[in-house]
Chain A
Amino acid sequence: MTDYTISHPSPGAAVIAVTGTLNVVSARGFREAIGDAVDRAPGQRVVVDLAGVPTIDSSGLGALIGGLKAARAAGGDLRIAAANQQVITVLELTNLNRVLQPYPSVADGLGDAAGGPVAAESATAAGSAR
């Protein structure tokens, strides 16, 4: 069972903490959780805390990308934080780390500069990383 906890650490920001696998079974519920967060406060920054996600598959990725599009369409943004190596590898396989850059921690994801994404150069180095 995959669970989502939504918190609001600061005005204009939401954190969705996910616990469990993001796959074809849980993708829809996860996507709805992002949609709820975006609808509740359009324009805010949504950080998805992936610390509790052991694995993700392409359906999970699709939900993340769909959430990213929804957040941006509402004038906000979506970031992912604390992803493990498996999740980062899946992102890199499809070069999706170029649009969904992983931040090392939720705090980094919430911040504006704070060192930037885990692999700022990963967009250009995606090939060699594989």
Chain B
Amino acid sequence: MSADRATRHTGLIHPVSPTDGDVRALVRTGAERADADEAARLQALHALQLLDTEPEERFDRITRLAQKLFDVPIARVDLIDATRQFVKSSQGLPVEHSARQDSFCDVTIRSEGALVVPDAGRDHRFRDNPFVSAHPNVRFYAGTPLHADGGHRVGALCIVDTRARTFDEAQTELLNDLGRWVEQEFVAREEHRRTLAMQTVLQPAGLPVLPGFAFAATSMAVTGVSGDLWDWRARSGSVNLMIADAMGHGAAAAIMATNLRASMRTMMNLVEAGAVHWDRSDSAVPGGSTPARQVDGAFAKVLTVAAGTVAEYLDRSDMFITLFATRINPDGTMLSVDAGHGLTVIVRADGGCEHLVTTELPIGINPDLVWTPREHVLHPGDAMIMFTDGLLDLFDGTLASLPELERIVRSADHPQDWIDAITRRVQTRGAVPDDITVVAVRRDR
């Protein structure tokens, strides 16, 4: 807050003596209230982020329908800004924004309910309006106010004719209904944007860092909101990496994926903090009892506990999640658990290509499941790609396309190049067929 604003703010809340003059100062005049309402209205309008945007099909289909339904030459969605009318959708007239003072819709938004002007030429409010006296020579106008979140009237859906008309109550109701549809588009868009923003916040911040290894990752979603997730945690010199795919896509899948992410993160943090100990009677992890192996052993428990945490929700929603989680140590050794995911490929520097298959079930099938960790080693020059099944849809949709993936890996050295090649494929295709997440790692030395 600037010093200036702070001073003014302090001035506002400074205690006043209740003399006549001060009391009068505390009561807002009608004009002041109108100003405040208008400021709030403009804020609501601007928050929609529709001003100065291109026409959109989702609004155009409503104005097209209104045009046909009411058999009028002109139908529009107009938004009323401080001094101008912004045309978001227009049928029958080119999109030309105009001054607010000449706007019929500005009159519409001044009160609740539709405004019907049967003959503007005989209406003293509009007789001298430039759109009446000149092109397009408006005679009939009907508009229904459009409300933003919070109830502010930010614009109107209107129909216009160049001849005088009557408009009965049933027709007015129909126009109001179409207006509610436009408002739904406002809300749906707003909701979607907030969801997207929140998911972006929950994305991993940056790529894992492990000396001698290079990482790259990408995530693309059908609806913008992904049911895939990937995440990493790095401490004590190793990287814990996971990729998961919640059944379905869109917001429902994303909510469940987020749930799992939180549980996995909590468990990984507890492991790194040494709060989860490996009971050596767990036969899960072979090898010695060095501190590093103990962390490995604890990591193997991560999935079981995290899965148990979300199992109840998965059960109630008939959903399941496939997941691959791995702990990569600086010496290239890896310990991995795979819950029905099975979409990890190691491309060996010496020419081999291994698909890390799993016979274990996804999370959410059986609450008592325990997953068995497996060991692998990344040698210098080896690459590993973890992905979700949406990636297969970029090829032939089956595991027969794995050699294509191997070719991409062998065509360049850095994981980012592989991710770029995959992104180009999506762009060529024009649309994301299913949520796609790819995490790639290469051991350099």
Question: Which A residues contact B (CB, under 8 angstroms)?
Answer: 24, 27, 31, 57-59, 61-63, 65-66, 69, 89, 93-96, 98-99, 123-124, 126-128, 130
Do A98 and B318 touch across chains, with their CB atoms under 8 A apart? no
Q: Is the interface of A mostly helix, strand, loop or mixed?
A: helix
Give, as a whole number of angstroms, the nearest-CB distance from A120 to chain B. 15
Q: Is the interface of B mostly helix, strand, loop or mixed?
A: loop
Do B359 and A69 touch across chains, with their CB atoms under 8 A apart? no
Q: Which residues of A contact B103 (CB under 8 A)?
A: none
Give 8 pairs: A residue, B residue, CB < 8 Å, sorted on A: A27-B318, A58-B248, A62-B248, A62-B318, A66-B318, A94-B320, A94-B322, A94-B362
Give, as a whole number of angstroms, the nearest-CB distance from A42 to chain B. 18
Do A127 and B340 touch across chains, with their CB atoms under 8 A apart? no
Identify the closest chain B residue to A63 (Cβ).
Answer: B318
Task: Decide yes or no whether B60 CB sits under 8 A from chain A.
Answer: no
Do A130 and B342 touch across chains, with their CB atoms under 8 A apart? yes
Partner of B366, one of A58, A99, A123: A99
Tell me the count of chain B residues lying within 8 A, CB to CB, of chain A: 24
Give, as a whole number of angstroms, the nearest-CB distance from A57 to chain B. 8
Tell me whether A59 and B248 are in contact in the complex, defined as CB-CB below 8 angstroms, given that A93-B389, A99-B366, A127-B359 are known contacts: yes
Q: Which residues of B contact A57 (CB under 8 A)?
A: 248
Binary contact readout B386-401 vs A (1 if CB under 8 angstroms, 0 otherwise): 0001000000001100
Do B365 and A96 touch across chains, with their CB atoms under 8 A apart? yes
Binary contact readout B336-347 vs A (1 if CB under 8 angstroms, 0 otherwise): 000010100000
A90 to B175, CA, bound (A): 47
Give, as a whole number of angstroms, the nearest-CB distance from A23 to chain B. 9
Do A99 and B318 touch across chains, with their CB atoms under 8 A apart? no
Do B361 and A96 touch across chains, with their CB atoms under 8 A apart? yes
Do A93 and B248 touch across chains, with their CB atoms under 8 A apart? no
Do B248 and A127 touch across chains, with their CB atoms under 8 A apart? no
A98 to B340, CA, bound (A): 11
* Cβ < 8 Å to A, chain B residues 129-163: none
Tell me whether A62 and B319 are in contact in the complex, defined as CB-CB below 8 angstroms, given that A24-B249, A98-B361, A126-B359 are known contacts: yes
Partner of B361, one of A59, A89, A95: A95
A108 to B362, CA, bound (A): 27
Do A96 and B318 touch across chains, with their CB atoms under 8 A apart? no
Do A95 and B319 touch across chains, with their CB atoms under 8 A apart? no
Q: Which residues of B contact A69 (CB under 8 A)?
A: 315, 318
A128 to B357, CA, bound (A): 8
Task: Decide yes or no whether B247 CB sits under 8 A from chain A.
Answer: yes
Do B357 and A127 touch across chains, with their CB atoms under 8 A apart? yes
Partner of B355, one of A66, A94, A130: A130
Do B359 and A95 touch across chains, with their CB atoms under 8 A apart? yes
Task: Decide yes or no whether B444 CB sits under 8 A from chain A.
Answer: no
Identify the closest chain B residue to A66 (Cβ).
Answer: B318
Do A62 and B247 touch across chains, with their CB atoms under 8 A apart? yes
A26 to B360, CA, bound (A): 27
Task: Decide yes or no whether B219 CB sits under 8 A from chain A.
Answer: no
Partner of A24, one of B248, B355, B366: B248
Do B340 and A94 touch across chains, with their CB atoms under 8 A apart? yes
Given contacts A31-B318, A62-B247, A93-B342, 11 further A-B contacts (CB under 8 A): A24-B249, A27-B318, A58-B248, A65-B364, A69-B315, A93-B399, A98-B359, A99-B366, A127-B358, A130-B355, A130-B357
Q: Which residues of A contact B340 (CB under 8 A)?
A: 94-96
Do A95 and B248 touch across chains, with their CB atoms under 8 A apart? no
A95 to B365, CA, bound (A): 11
A39 to B244, CA, bound (A): 33
Give, as a whole number of angstroms, the nearest-CB distance from B163 to chain A. 44
Do A95 and B398 touch across chains, with their CB atoms under 8 A apart? no
Do A95 and B342 touch across chains, with their CB atoms under 8 A apart? yes
Do A96 and B362 touch across chains, with their CB atoms under 8 A apart? yes
Identify the closest chain B residue to A23 (Cβ).
Answer: B248
